[in-house]
Amino acid sequence: MRFENTGVLITGAGSGIGRAASLAFAEEGAAVAAAALQLESAQATASAVEASGGKAVGLQVDVTQPDSARALVERAVAGLGSLDVLINSAGVREIVPFLELPAAEWLKVIGTNLTGTFLCSQAVARHLIAQHKSGKIINLASVAGLVGVPNRAAYVASKHGVVGLTKEMGMELADKHIQVNAIAPGVVETAMTAGYFDNPAIVASLKKAHPAGRWAQPEEIARLMLFLASEDADFMTGATIPIDGGFVAGKAI
């Protein structure tokens, strides 16, 4: 197993990609700190990891708050014994036309997706450096961090910010042996996107938007996270990798 004696902290672990990542890393031998805004969902993921034979703790965090992010790292280290990998998977999005987007909604999306990634990454990087340890940070961007998507101004801005932050962190932390990369999924079937699949017109549109003719499952995104967290990716940093069935490669006309 690739991640024995490895501590992995995953935000947004209560559902979707974060939950799939928690189970995938545990299956590869990692001890997992599953963190979410709602403690109950974090603990449910931790229980699922333990039921599969892994080691996990469930932790509450508000990634938008500096004190909460710092405390999360301290509790993850206490619960796991070590911390080597951070997965920034916490995220929210809006579906509102730009001209109608309330400022409060803008601040919520930017705060969770971009500020949360910054705060958790900074706290983990500071811990790794203080411990003279190498490590990996993996950010969840999106195809919306590479191209525009209608009615998602805050989400698109936040994910473009994650792509830029990944480059900056990758550059600044490289000589400290901390690799930072991002993943840019297309549409993934999660609780956030569940409403899409009840509408045949949206389903047809999604299939057309992805040249592969389908959307992704959370487990497919988790497998790319496993690679980026492994020693096979030790010379990769500052990169954003689309995993999108061809979404950003081009569009049919």
DSSP-derived pairing of the beta strands 7-10 and 31-36: parallel
**Any residues with CB less than 8 A from the CB of 147 and at least 6 apart, and which?**
248
Distance, in Å, from the CA atom of 141 to the CA atom of 87, rounded to the nearest integer, reads: 11
Tokens of 107: 């601040």
Token pair, residue 140, equals 């969840």
Rounded Cα distance, 135 and 176, in Å: 9
CB 16 within 8 A of CB 93: no
Count of beta carbons in the 10 Å neighbourhood of residue 241? 17
| Residue among 25, 155, 215, 247 flagged as catalytic | 155
Indicate if 155 belongs to the active site: yes
212 in Cβ contact with 181 (< 8 Å):
no
- 5 vs 103: CA distance, rounded Å: 44
Pairwise CA distance, residues 93 & 85, whole Å: 25
* CB within 8 Å of 152: residues ≥ 6 apart: 93, 94, 95, 96, 144
SS3 call for 186: coil
Active-site residue list: 155
